[in-house]
Amino acid sequence: MPELPEVEVTRQGIAPHLEGQRVVSVVVRQPRLRWPVDPQIQQLAGQRIERVWRRAKYLLLESQAGVLILHLGMSGSLRVLNPAPAAGKHDHLDLVLNSGAVLRLNDPRRFGAAIWWQLPLEAQPLLNQLGPEPLTLGFNPDQLADALRGKRSAIKTALMDNKVVVGVGNIYANEALFAAGIRPTAVAGSLGRPRLERLVTEVKRVLAAAIEQGGTTLKDFTQADGKPGYFVQQLHVYGRGGQPCHQCGGELKEIKLGQRATVYCGRCQR
């Protein structure tokens, strides 16, 4: 599923085409997404999109009337089309802009979401319990130490907890832990300060590199312009169970943690 870098790359791709534009109409072809699309979403019609930003894996389109919160789910994608071709089977939502362009949500599995929200965002239950953004100063060794204190869960599981830090999904948790030399099964609350400092540094580096490369194309993800992401070429462990470690040549091990595929090097990660 799209992780934080893929969502951020999408934001970067669509924002220049949306910010400052007025929504001419909202076309909802399939209201049954992960949650039913609120008919009040039609209030966005006639509104100017003031800002397009991201919180965790959510994209937020702000207007004076309210905020449209979009989530790509497992296989969703957003495209800015001008001119827009006829809608396909899985094209569930269009925002028609006064520029003539169309923002189109395509989601074959319908696990994505389009949520219309008019109250303060602090009251939005999907957003108000989230931890810090990993690429901000709010995510730092002190914050991480506090968040992990007393936790007996595996560090990889804790790192993927959005209350600890947002947006570090399975791909990038595997990669950051490898880069930091930390075994994913290590007890989260047992990590000392030097290892936490290294982990914070590597989470930031890995995510920033993935964004720079346009994300990671595994199956469904492509950028907002339809081009693939290239970070897949830099993966050291994810999806490489049984293959040689790029650092030591030993065989990478693959296990399940929290029902997610977890790959690590028994020599390089402790």
Cα of 87 vs its chain's centroid, Å = 26
Domains of the chain by range and CATH? 4-123 (3.20.190.10), 141-264 (1.10.8.50)
The response to whether 109 counts as a known ligand-binding position is yes
Instruction: Write down the residue that tokens 């109409």 correspond to.
Output: 25
- 103 has pLDDT over 70: yes
pLDDT at residue 250 in the model: 97
> Which structure tokens are listed for 227?
């081009």
pLDDT at residue 102 in the model: 97
The response to whether 17 counts as a known ligand-binding position is no
- Mean pLDDT across the stretch 130-138? 97
- Mean pLDDT across the stretch 83-103? 97
Q: Is 134 exposed, middle or buried (0-12, 13-18, 19+ CB in 10 A)?
A: buried
- Give the C-alpha separation, 69 to 62, whole Å: 9
pLDDT at residue 11 in the model: 93
pLDDT in tens, 162-183: 999 999 999 999 999 999 999 9
DSSP string, 218-261: SSS---TTSPPPBGGGG-SSTT-TTSBPTTT-PBPEEEEETTEE
pLDDT at residue 233 in the model: 59
The response to whether 163 counts as a known ligand-binding position is no
Identify which of 215-219, 227-231, 251-255 has the greatest average pLDDT.
Answer: 251-255
Instruction: Calculate the average pLDDT of the chain.
Output: 92
- 227 has pLDDT over 70: no
- Give the C-alpha separation, 65 to 117, whole Å: 9
Q: Which residues are catalytic?
A: 2-3, 57, 260
